[in-house]
Amino acid sequence: MDIFFILSGLFLLILGSHFLTKGAISLSLFFKIPKIVVGLTIVSLATSTPELFISVQSVLNGHDDLAFGNIIGSNISNIGLIIGITTIIATLTIDRQFCRVELTFMKAISLLLFLFVVFDNKLNRIEGGILAILFIVFMIYIIKNKRNSAKLDLGVKQKQTFNFIYLLLIILGGVFLWLGAELLINGAISLAEKLGVDERIISITTLAIGTSLPELFASIFSLIKKEKGISIGNLIGSNIFNILIVLGVTSLIKPITIQNSNLIFTDMIWMLGFTFAIIPLVYFFSRKKLGYIEGLILLLGYIIFIYTLLF
């Protein structure tokens, strides 16, 4: 039954994220929002909602390590696993502005999160508020500086018309995400207790990979549609939102107390390593690109991380 709950939860999370993403993108295209903005904001927020639902419910149920570990593992998965697989499939061109602003911002808030929790193993409401304010600042920058960029287009040839089905998809997506989070958390906790596995392992592996599947599907779907701007924007934006929105909002609702110090001194170090590796990889092998070689390096790094975690 635990496996059934986990698989059912993952299915509902994926389905809910798909509905939410489809509805959100359709609405954004109707309002003529450029695709890189769609990727960095709407798609990223939509595909990060599984992490938000799981983290909030985990903390409210007293499983703080599950909530924190899910975000750390998800950010590692997004870079090592998802960007790794995505760039093996197709080369992604990264412009200088994106490196200087979005990637640098992701590194800065990752380091800030580490500094928040390293001394007291807690993420309190004040720190959560700071993260939430940084999210607002980030959103203002994205909307103000990228909306009217001449280099960005919508990738849509015909005029988009408003349809209330978009709103229905968003509502259904939210309901499925809530149900999926409930099933996945209950199944994962029960399975961990029966197997004697630490919540940290469950959160970093099962929950993190499971909640990262929407990012994987959204990225592959974007590549198939030749919307690479949405793909890379979604992945980087998702990591930013995981820290600022998911952990920020969760710790505002209830402060997060981390019981297992390995989440900070091992897993967060890995997260920082993957985060800080992106820009050097962009310029080392093929300038301003993430291609096959970079993808293999990231994927290999992720495999090593999982191996050290399990063995």
CATH number at residue 171: 1.20.1420.30
Place of tokens 């993952």: 10
Domain ranges, residue 184: 2-151+163-310
Instruction: Show the DSSP H helices in 31-157 as ranges.
Output: 35-37, 44-60, 64-76, 84-89, 96-98, 104-118, 125-146
Domain contains 156: no
Per-residue model confidence as pLDDT tens for the chain (311 residues): 788 888 888 788 778 777 876 776 676 667 666 655 665 666 667 667 778 888 898 899 899 999 999 999 999 999 999 999 988 988 887 877 777 788 899 999 999 999 999 999 999 999 999 999 999 998 888 777 765 553 444 444 445 566 778 778 877 877 887 787 678 777 877 877 788 888 889 889 878 887 777 777 767 766 776 665 556 777 888 899 999 999 999 999 999 999 999 999 999 999 999 999 988 888 776 677 888 999 999 999 999 999 999 88
Q: Is 239 within 8 Å of 79 (Cβ atoms)?
A: yes
Domain contains 267: yes
- What total number of domains does the chain contain? 1
Domain contains 140: yes
Q: Is 269 within 8 Å of 74 (Cβ atoms)?
A: no
Domain contains 213: yes
Domain contains 158: no
Domain contains 117: yes
What's the whole-model pTM score? 0.83
Domain contains 113: yes
Domain contains 32: yes
